[in-house]
Structure 1
Amino acid sequence: MIPATEPFVARYKHIVDGQTRYTFKPVIAWGDNGDALVVDTKAGRLEPATHWNDFVDLGEGTSPIVAAIPGGDWKVTYRGEESGTTDSSPLLAWGIRADGTTTPIDVDGSGFSDDPTGDDRFLSLDPPRSATDPQATTDAGPYKDPTDQDDYDQDIA
């Protein structure tokens, strides 16, 4: 057995509520015969990725998520079901990967969470309004541009 030193994943296909979903298992090691080995949580051992009949393929993985922070007031905007419309939802969290990169995490109505940028209907990640709209208000009051010296002088006086 050879430990996996580069991130690879085994991909598995599932049908949930009539929609195709994919789940992934990280490749932990490579068997002496070259098989990708993943954890079988029920058996408590490594098994070839092809052990399950819903196996699709192997792909390059990404650095694992090692922490998460709340999504704050970020929103995810998707193309609506009807032409010319959009839907938005609050971003659930930001996943922090071992290599330092971040990944947005959204959740759908069935409780499935994933990176929304991979959704066919994905349009944009929208920052909190207070950061982009000086007229917006927050619980702390109206947004003030920290570079506006006049506001700063009035607050001190």
Structure 2
Amino acid sequence: MTPADGTFFAHFGYSSQSQFDVPGSPREVIAWADNGDALLLGKNGLVAAHTLDGFQYIRRARVKSKVVAALPGGGWKITTKFTDGETWTTPVLAWLVHEDGDVVPVDISPDGSAGNAVIADDETAQEVAVYHPDHPTTSHREADPAA
């Protein structure tokens, strides 16, 4: 087993049986098994990503930069419309400010877990809106070019 460098993530689709039941929700690869399997932290230890219900693919993320500040979510929301017709709206819990200047929303998934929101990196997302309910013109939308 080889420790992962924190730049690979396993992505999952929706499944009612999945412990990761948020469409496209990424989970960090913790280590690589000797046979090359991506290992994730499960309820009882490390588990191969491909054995989990709803597994779709592994993708390398951009190199992480250090978080230098966290700001409150301030009532912002993220609404994602997926290619299967599902729509999810989650509140932004906080904004993480990275040393390279990136600001990343942290959302709360329907199962109550918090993590970096997936905005443009999710292949199952057809349209994403980041907005403040009091100011709908702040919405930023990205449409899937294949749609």
TM-score when normalising by structure 1: 0.49
Q: Following the alignment from structure 2 to structure 1, what is the Cα–Cα distance between the partners of residues 58 and 99?
A: 21
Residue in 1 aligned with 2:8?
A: 8
Query: Structure 1 residue 23: deviation in Å?
Result: 1.8
Alignment check: 8 A CA contact 1:26 1:61 kept: no
Residue segments in structure 2 that go unaligned for 5+ positions in a row: 17-21, 80-90, 136-147
Alignment check: 8 A CA contact 2:6 2:30 kept: no
Task: Determine whether 1:31 maps to 2:33.
Answer: yes
Task: Determine whether 1:104 maps to 2:138.
Answer: no
Larger Rg: 1
Higher relative contact order (CA 8 A, sep 6+): 2
Deviations, residues 44-97 of structure 1 (Å, cap 9, x unaligned): x11111121311110113538966321348x5698xxxxxxxxxxx85421245
Q: 1:6 and 1:25, CA in 2 relative to 1: closer, same or farther beyond 3 A?
A: closer
Alignment check: 8 A CA contact 2:11 2:57 kept: yes
Residue segments in structure 1 that go unaligned for 5+ positions in a row: 79-89, 130-157
SS of alignment partner, residue 50 of structure 1? helix
Q: Following the alignment from structure 1 to structure 2, what is the Cα–Cα distance between the partners of residues 98 and 32?
A: 34
More strand by share: 2
Amino acid aligned to 1:14: Y
Q: Following the alignment from structure 2 to structure 1, what is the Cα–Cα distance between the partners of residues 108 and 4?
A: 30
Residue in 2 aligned with 1:135?
A: none
Q: Following the alignment from structure 1 to structure 2, what is the Cα–Cα distance between the partners of residues 53 and 116?
A: 19
Aligned pair count? 112
More helix by share: 1
Alignment check: 8 A CA contact 1:14 1:22 kept: yes
Alignment check: 8 A CA contact 2:11 2:56 kept: yes
Q: Following the alignment from structure 1 to structure 2, what is the Cα–Cα distance between the partners of residues 116 and 4?
A: 21
Q: 1:50 and 1:64, CA in 2 relative to 1: closer, same or farther beyond 3 A?
A: farther
Q: 1:3 and 1:99, CA in 2 relative to 1: closer, same or farther beyond 3 A?
A: farther
Q: What is the aligned counterpart of 1:68 among 62, 70, 80?
A: 70
Alignment check: 8 A CA contact 2:94 2:105 kept: yes
After superposition, residues 2-151 of structure 1 pair within 5 angstroms as: 2-14=2-14, 21-40=23-42, 42-43=43-44, 45-61=45-61, 63=64, 68-72=70-74, 92-97=93-98, 101-105=102-106, 115=117, 117-118=119-120, 120-122=127-129
Q: Following the alignment from structure 1 to structure 2, what is the Cα–Cα distance between the partners of residues 106 and 64?
A: 19
The CA RMSD over aligned residues, in Å, is 4.1
Alignment check: 8 A CA contact 1:13 1:55 kept: yes
